[in-house]
Structure formats: C-alpha cells, structure tokens
A and B are shown apart, each in its own frame.
Chain A
C-alpha cells in the first residue's frame, strides 16, 4: 500500500515537473495553476452554436475584437493565419476563436466573411450584448465603446488566450508577438 502511494506520488511529481518545465519554456505569459477556461455558448459565424467545450482535444487560441478594428485585430489575425500555415499538418489540431465586442455590427455572416479573409477555419462568436459582456467578464477582457465623429470604435484588450487540449486556460500572448512565437507555444501545448 505504502509502495503504491509512494509510486503514485512520484508519478504525480514527475508529471507536475514536466508541466512546469513546459510552462517555463512558453513564450506567452503563463498562469499557475492553470484554471479551466470558462465555457460559453454563442452564435457561431458558421451559423451553428459556438461552444468552447466542443474543442476539447484541440489547442484553442481565443481572441476578442471587432471586424471594423483598424489595427490590432488585423495584425493578430494575420499572425494567427501565418501560424496555421507554419504548423503544417498540425494546424488541424489548432482552433482559432474570435469573439466580437461589437454585436451591433458583427453579424455571423459579416464575421465569417471577415475571418475567412484571414483563414477559412477561423470561427467567430457573437450574441447579445449581455451574453458577450458575461463572457468578457469571465475572461477579464476590457472593451470600451468610443465615439469617433459620427461613427464609433472600440478600445479592447489586445492579447489572446492559449487554451490547452484539456480546456485549461494556460497562457496569455501579448499583442504584437510574431507567428513564430505562436508556433513555438502551440507546439508545446500540442505535445503529448
């Protein structure tokens, strides 16, 4: 009995050691301990329900933004599209989800067209203002609508989240990181 306990403890420490080593080598900011990524149910840009839990088994990159975003979103989405290309065959194990902060403008159709211009596999999520605010709150995302002449814009959190295959919120990639940084970290998270 004591032997079994000691073996189980060693195994646990060994696994934890590996997880810590993985985390230390990530280029993104790492959460310790990782918490389960809050699930959500939104309208997907493909017309179906968008649920985070549906992507268990894949690494998910979760971004927040709006389709009229002039700089932050196009830069991030272009880096993510490049990331998928660089991943080659492993790209099928990565899912990019993009949740809008502008439900008044971003319909599922508009999001699909916008995201498709970067990568056809990217999926968008929209919903009511209350639904989206609830998701943002659970992820600590800031989004403020600002008047811009007769129009408006949003100031929003520019980082992305990296969620591992088990659905744990593992890391936060700051804005402006290169596709090589994403590839590096996604490969670590995909490793068995």
Chain B
C-alpha cells in the first residue's frame, strides 16, 4: 500500500499545493495567450503535393490519398491553396488538370464554403471551407485549438500511411 507523506496535522505538505497552483497558473496563462496573442502564420500558403512516383504507386494498386476531401483555410492567416504536381505524369489534382512540375496557387478572399468537382475523391467533390479571420479572443482561442487538433490528426494520418 502506497503511503502519502503528511505533516503533523495530517494534511498534505504545502509543496504539493504550490505545484497545483503553478500548473493552474501555467494553464491559465496558455489560455490567455491563445486568446489574446495576435494570430500570425509564417506563410499564408496551405501546400499539398503529389510526390514523385504517385502514379506508379496507384498503378501498382496502392491506395494513395493526397488531398483531404475537406480543406479548412482561414482568411488573413492561411488563405492560399497551393497544389504541386511533382509526379512525372499529368494529374487531376483538386479542381484542375496539372502538368508534371506544375503548381497551382489559388488565393481566397471571401469566407465561404467552396465546392470543387474533383475526380481524385470518391465523392467526386472537394470542399474548401474558408473561415473569417479570427479577430476576437474567443475566435483566436477556437482557431488555435482547431489548429492543434488538425496538426495532431495530420501526424496520425501520416503515421498510418
């Protein structure tokens, strides 16, 4: 049985309390930072690439998904969709046909839900959701939490493939 150290009056030592206070303060600071710090991104480009050899892998029967069926962008932060065909054959990529080595850069200027016909997806559609710039503290907090989840999901999807 695990013993807990107690002081003479039978309560836990103050050190433990201070640790909790410190952790709470850290969490609160993180929330404040996420809500108040201005949202910035090093680049406004959201890049998707068809790697070299994709066509060959598809021909060999491998399932290769490059573009998610729904892409989320944010105005003023990450609002430029960049598609690159690094393969050595033309590919239907997103909404359009792209030659080997060609890139396509599509800026978005309005928050909306855009639908593109896309033969690369089983649904035949690619949806791009462009959200408004997170201007309020609540919107910034929501945006940062969403970014965190998206990054985690991206990492686990990459690990699966």
Partner of A33, one of B92, B102, B119, B124: B102
> A30 CA to B98 CA in the complex, in Å?
11
Q: Interface size of B by Cβ–Cβ distance < 8 Å?
A: 21
Chain A interface residue count, CB cutoff 8 Å, equals: 22
| In the complex, number of A-B residue pairs with CB atoms less than 8 Å apart | 55
Q: A142-B119, A157-B95 are in contact. Are A172 and B114 (CB under 8 A)?
A: no
Which secondary structure dominates where chain A touches chain B?
mixed
Please provide the chain B residues from 111 to 155 with a CB less than 8 Å away from any CB of chain A in the complex: 112, 114, 116-117, 119, 124
Q: Mark A33-74, 1 if CB is under 8 A from B, else 0.
A: 101000000000000000000000000000000000000000
Q: Chain A contacts of B102 at CB under 8 A?
A: 31-33, 35
A175 to chain B: closest CB distance in Å?
8
Q: Which residue of B lies closest to A142 (CB)?
A: B117
Closest to B118 in A: A142
Q: Given A140-B96, A142-B124, A172-B95, A29–B104 Cβ distance below 8 Å? A: yes
Q: In the assembled complex, which residues on chain B have CB atoms less than 8 Å from the CB atom of A156?
A: 117
A29–B117 alpha-carbon span in the complex (Å): 15
Q: Is B68 an interface residue (CB 8 A)?
A: no
- Is A98 among interface residues, defined by CB-CB distance under 8 A? no
Chain B residues in 8 Å Cβ range of A31: 98, 102-104
Which residues of B sit under 8 angstroms from A142, Cβ to Cβ?
117, 119, 124
Partner of A172, one of B96, B101, B112, B124: B96
A159 to B78, CA, bound (A): 22
Interface positions of A (Cβ within 8 A of B): 23, 27-33, 35, 138-140, 142, 144, 155-159, 172, 174, 176
Q: A139-B97, A142-B117, A174-B106 are in contact. List 12 more A-B contacts (CB 8 A).
A: A23-B105, A29-B95, A29-B105, A30-B105, A33-B102, A140-B92, A140-B97, A142-B119, A142-B124, A156-B117, A157-B117, A159-B95
> Nearest 6 CB-CB pairs, A to B?
A140-B97, A29-B106, A142-B117, A157-B117, A32-B103, A140-B96
**21 A-B pairs with C-beta separation under 8 A:** A23-B105, A27-B109, A29-B96, A29-B105, A30-B104, A30-B105, A32-B102, A32-B105, A35-B99, A138-B97, A140-B97, A142-B119, A144-B124, A155-B117, A156-B117, A159-B96, A172-B104, A172-B106, A174-B95, A174-B116, A176-B114
